Amino acid sequence: MDKQNLALVFPGQGSQKVGMLAELAEAHPIITATFAEASDALDYDMWKLVQQGEQEQLNLTETTQPVLLTASVAVWRLWCEQKGPRPALMAGHSLGEFSALVCAGALAFGDAVRLVRARGQAMQTAVPVGQGAMAAVMGLDDAEIERICQEQAGDGVVEAVNYNSPGQVVIAGHAGAVERTAEALKAAGAKRAVLLPVSAPFHTSLMRPAGDKLAEALEAISVSKPETPVVHNVHAQTEEEPEQIKELLIKQIYSPVKWVGCVQTMVDAGVEITVEAGPGKVLSGLNKRIHKALNCVNVDTPESLEKALAAVQA
């Protein structure tokens, strides 16, 4: 059954934590079965890492990306098993866009797990560790942030990269330029400008070498027309053509994530409920700030699954 006012959304990096989905896995074997499938694709015990590993290892980009994709796909499979309705639209934040494409039937799961590990490695090596930085900026409008980034860049790169919600934008680039810009933004009236604990300047023009590597990896991978339309980060629109989807995935690495636009596109299409499939509630919080009338629920525990199924059947 399709539900026209429902969208499923998939989280990106930052939502991972040791022990995630443990309760859900106890109640529903499909969770560990999905992790076992990913483990076979990557040749290590991913579930053991997620449950018993170190947070530091989980936070390494090349580990985080396959782990979060697997967690989201596992929750989607459980959703289907529980007879949750098919959404009218799907979307994911950064890495989450790959999760959305797997769940929409455009990418094979095994291919996607290997692909996002390669993506993570490419993103990590595009800029040497310590040379890049990201900072979250609160309480200043987008145009002002963009202007100050241009003003402060100097010989470096600093760009607005994640338009997460009204009044929350992430900037990224060379570490010195980001730190300088964060101070200038605070002086211009930003409530906060906080450096993020990440190891690379994601979604900046500095990530173009990673885009080239992803393009190579994508050459060997088959992409199909999505069974459920996916709203893409680059232009906040849906795309049906497989070759265009590949282009958007490459471009996404070095382009801003237009999350506000993605949510607005879903709302304009009649979406009233978003279900966040995967660990945490980051997107649920952002979605609510973008459009207060949205009913935003998440699924990462047995209780939240029950609540989400009740919300969509109401």
Q: Where are the domains of the chain?
A: 2-126+206-313, 132-198
Give the class (CATH, top level) of 132-198: alpha beta
Active site residues: 94, 203
User: pTM of the predicted model, to two decimals?
Assistant: 0.96
Same-fold call for 2-126+206-313 versus 132-198: no
Per-residue tens of pLDDT for the chain, all 314 residues: 568 899 999 999 988 999 999 999 999 999 999 999 999 999 999 999 999 999 988 988 889 999 999 999 999 999 999 999 999 999 999 999 999 999 999 999 999 999 999 999 999 899 988 899 999 999 999 999 999 999 999 999 999 999 999 999 999 999 999 999 999 999 999 999 999 877 789 999 999 999 999 999 999 999 999 999 999 999 999 999 999 999 999 999 999 999 999 999 999 999 999 999 999 999 999 999 999 999 999 999 999 999 999 999 87
- Determine how β-strand 2-10 pairs with β-strand 86-92: parallel
Measured distance CA(75)–CA(87) in Å, rounded: 14
Q: Which two tokens stand for residue 167?
A: 């009044």
CATH fold of 2-126+206-313 reads: Malonyl-Coenzyme A Acyl Carrier Protein; domain 2 (3.40.366)
